[in-house]
Amino acid sequence: MAETTVEPLPDPPATTGFRGRVEEFLRSNCPPVGERIDAGHERVDAARAFQSALASAGLAGLTYPTRFGGAGLTRAHQEEFDEVSRGWSLPTFPLAISHGMCLPMLNQFGTDDQKARFMPANISGRAIWCQMFSEPGAGSDVASLATRAVRDGDEWVVNGQKVWTSGAHYCDYGIIVARTDPTLPKHQGLSMFIVDMHDPCIEVRPLRQISGDSGFNEVFFTDLRIPADWLLGELEQGWSLATAMLMFERVSIGAGGGSFAVDRSPALITLAQETGQAHDPGLRQRLADLWIREQIRRYIGSRIRAAVAADRVPGPEGSIAKLHGAILARTARDVSMSIAGTAAQAWDACDVAGARWATACLGASGASIA
């Protein structure tokens, strides 16, 4: 059998003084992990304010070009920022899709005019974006979607419905996939567009979940007119672009950046010590396993960021990151529940990592199917 070789990671360039800048900013703008109640819940105003402060400090969009609102720094700077921020409760969850999926798509496939128009506001938090693929009749088989976009002069006219759209009720812009040529096979007649979520021809209806939350939405398009130059990428290339966008999603969830960067093991070790469980050999083994998985996530993320920095859309490594991230979420959930005991079932009880125990427990399995 042929021997498999793994390309070593290049040594990152020096980031002298950068860690200190990040630490100083975080001390002034957000509390450490464990001091924010319900840190995982959507706090849109807090997210916008935090991201604005981050941009003012030159710490937003670290690896994106300065001419498009980024900081123009290196992958090493991003990795150092992620490393430092793991000990803090960044209120950035409402920006997860905007920054983890939509921003990379704009950077990778947008025209220079689109980048100049849309990226700065996205990076600074002034504009939050959502992604709209799924429809009532097109969930796992997204290519069966029925939303239509018809060319009319210098505009596209969109009619249809999307569902399960995260955050649509607070977003400013969105990226949709619509059918532009119904005569082509279903995977070939799709195109991707940018839409203004404040347009009166778009109706957003929040979906109430059993938990009482309304994070998902139905979105209806009725004769929505969008400029022809808001086509993202090439016409009829929507399927390949959608695949790329899903890879960016897997990267953002699995590689441990932004909202998903918090390491649970340090706080759980502290809790085990405080509750007299630290000498339990079985628990010690599970905590060690959790810590190891967190380090693996870090190395996977480093490789993926290297690919993105080289202007390459993540391939299978994105799926590997997503799979590992789902396993890591369940592992952290199980260890947390074991240490907390019956207290973990209290709906309003907060854990040491700043989230509600029961909410975190229910949400951990979602990463396996999302």
Is residue 249 part of the annotated active site? The answer reads yes
Count of Cβ atoms closer than 10 Å to residue 318 Cβ: 25
222-276 residue pLDDT tens: 999 999 999 999 999 999 999 999 888 877 776 655 445 568 888 889 989 999 9
Q: Which domains are delineated in the chain?
A: 18-127 (1.10.540.10), 130-236 (2.40.110.10), 254-367 (1.20.140)
42-85 residue pLDDT tens: 589 999 999 999 999 999 999 999 999 999 999 889 889 988 98
* Helix residue ranges per DSSP H, the chain: 18-29, 44-56, 75-85, 96-97, 103-109, 112-124, 238-254, 265-274, 281-309, 316-340, 357-364
Cβ–Cβ < 8 Å for 159, 179: no
Q: Which of 249, 274, 294, 317 is catalytic?
A: 249
pLDDT at 113: 98
Q: Is 168 helix (H, G, I), strand (E, B) or coil?
A: coil
Q: Is 224 helix (H, G, I), strand (E, B) or coil?
A: strand
200-215 residue pLDDT tens: 999 999 998 776 777 8
Residue 14 has pLDDT above 50, yes or no: yes
Residue 3 has pLDDT above 70, yes or no: no
Q: What is the pLDDT of the chain when averaged over all its residues?
A: 86
285-335 residue pLDDT tens: 999 999 999 989 888 877 877 777 677 777 777 778 888 888 888 898 899
Confidence category of residue 165, pLDDT binned at 50, 70, 90: very high
pLDDT at 343: 72
Which residues, in sequence order, are CB contacts of 272 under 8 Å at separation 6+?
A: 278, 280, 283, 287, 339
DSSP notation for 1-31? -PPP--PPPPPPPP-TTHHHHHHHHHHHHSP
Q: Can you name the residues that pair with 34 across neighbouring β-strands?
A: none
Cβ–Cβ < 8 Å for 257, 216: no
